[in-house]
Amino acid sequence: MLALTEIDMDAMDSPRCPKCGHEMDRGLILDSGDLNRPRPPQWLKGQPDVGSISGNLKTAGQRRLFVITYRCGACGLLESYAPASPGSYS
């Protein structure tokens, strides 16, 4: 699993908001991980597979992608991307 410091947040120039046209700021939406430690959210392809006994999501062997989010300072719109690799944003 990649550490947050391995995500290259400078790889993409700040985009313009598709709603109002203002510049958007790079960031991420924090998720709670083990022991409620903040971590970046991850994207998994497909429908959630929940264990019948534990109720936990089954994620073993699935490819995980970190989610990078941009926020418009003018209207507040959030736009998220799950790049194929931490350094690839196209």
Question: How many residues appear in the chain?
Answer: 90
Closest CA to 25 of 7, 12, 42, 44: 12
Question: C-alpha 29: how far from its chain's center?
Answer: 7
Q: pLDDT, tens digit, for every residue of 44-72?
A: 787 777 877 777 777 777 788 888 899 99
Q: How confident is the model at residue 43 (pLDDT cuts 50, 70, 90)?
A: confident
**What's the DSSP call for residue 4?**
G
Report which of residues 24 and 90 the model is more confident about: 24
Residue 1: the pLDDT is 40
Task: Say yes or no to pLDDT of 7 above 90.
Answer: no
Report which of residues 22 and 85 the model is more confident about: 22
Sign of CA dihedral 22, 11, 61, 30: negative
Residue 2: the pLDDT is 41
